[in-house]
């Protein structure tokens, strides 16, 4: 059974079948692809949502409706929704960072376990991001404000 | 009417910020990243710059440093509006010359309050 290349004896190692490494890499890249699709779906949904939001706001500001106090609750609701409507930006950043980690893992797994054959160009290895995910929020509550 | 430059690579965020600022009576100019923002700053004075941090080409901290070196923007309020919330990043913002640090998502009422506080 062909296993992955042996690193130096000073480093603890685990021998893995090459086929298994290849399958894990494929799975990681499939997940990355699905995350990109998810990002696209969110962006498309957000685009439609923004059109409807802007349209509703504009109609509420029409001269014939502007003085109706009964609609004040609706206006307030729309203004408050601005906080939640920022979800797509945060989701996109979260997805992007997670994708880069998975992609980095996939390429690193391949390059360290399989290396390159004679004459084969060394593939570009996406570095796993060192910085933690910039999105730490768990809820869509307004964030802090600090003036220096 | 005060003019605000809002900088974010996310189209939805730019729309949300612009919607909030215009409803409060401000005039808004949008930029898609730090490079675009700095180019727009060459041709126009702004009363405030509201910028995201993580953007391609030139991020928010880089834009802040460049604007602070520009004679027309030495004292212009620059507010960071970003998902980044770590003390390390806030310290970097302060060192770069930012006026304040707002963590996303923003509340439109509180955003306008802080803008009124910093725009003289």
CB B40 within 8 A of CB B5: yes
What's the pLDDT score for residue A119? 57
More confident residue, A120 or A61: A61
Percent of chain A at pLDDT exceeding 70: 82
Segment A54-76 shows an average pLDDT of 87
**In degrees to the nearest 10, what's the CA dihedral of A84, A87, A90, A93?**
-170
Q: Summarize pLDDT for B29-75 with one digit per residue, the tens.
A: 999 999 999 999 998 999 999 999 999 999 999 999 999 999 999 99
Per-residue pLDDT band for A111 (boundaries 50, 70, 90) equals confident
Best mutation target among B7, B11, B14, B16 (most A Cβ atoms within 10 Å) is: B16
Mark yes or no for CB contact A86/B12 under 8 Å: yes
Query: pTM for this one?
Result: 0.83
Buried b (16+ CB within 10 A) or exposed e, A42-68: bbeebeeebeebeeebeeeeeeeeeee
B85, two tokens: 């919330």
Residues 59-98 (B) with a CB less than 8 A from some CB of A:
82-85, 90, 93-94, 98
A95 CB neighbours in chain B (<8 A) are: none
Domains for chain B: give ranges and CATH numbers: 3-118 (3.40.50.2300)
pLDDT of residue A118: 57
B15 → chain A, closest CA residue: A50
Q: What is the mean pLDDT of chain A?
A: 82
Contact A82 B82 (CB under 8 A): no
């Amino acid at each position: 059974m062909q296993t992955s290349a042996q690193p130096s004896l000073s480093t603890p190692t685990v021998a893995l079948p090459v086929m298994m490494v290849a399958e894990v890499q494929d799975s990681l890249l499939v997940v990355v692809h699905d995350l990109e699709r998810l990002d696209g779906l969110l962006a498309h949904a957000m685009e439609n949502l923004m059109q409807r939001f802007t349209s509703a706001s504009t109609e509420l500001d029409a001269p014939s409706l502007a003085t109706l106090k009964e609609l004040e609750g609706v206006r307030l609701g729309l203004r408050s929704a601005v906080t939640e409507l920022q979800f797509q930006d945060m989701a996109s950043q979260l997805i992007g960072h997670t994708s880069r980690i998975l992609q980095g893992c996939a390429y690193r797994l391949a390059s360290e376990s399989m290396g390159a054959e004679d004459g084969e160009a060394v593939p570009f290895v996406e570095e796993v991001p060192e910085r933690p995910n910039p999105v730490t929020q768990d809820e869509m509550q307004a964030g802090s404000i600090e003036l220096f | 009417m005060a003019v605000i430059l809002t900088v974010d690579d996310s189209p939805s965020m730019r729309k949300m910020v612009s919607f909030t600022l215009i409803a409060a009576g401000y005039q808004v100019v949008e930029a898609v990243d730090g490079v675009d923002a700095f180019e727009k700053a060459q041709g126009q004075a702004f009363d405030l710059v509201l910028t995201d941090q993580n953007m391609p080409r030139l991020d928010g901290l880089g834009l802040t440093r460049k604007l602070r070196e520009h004679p027309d923007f030495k004292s212009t309020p620059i507010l960071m509006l970003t998902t980044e919330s770590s003390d390390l990043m806030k310290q970097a913002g302060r060192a770069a010359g930012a006026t304040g640090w707002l963590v996303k998502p923003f509340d439109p009422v509180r955003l306008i309050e802080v803008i009124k506080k910093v725009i003289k």
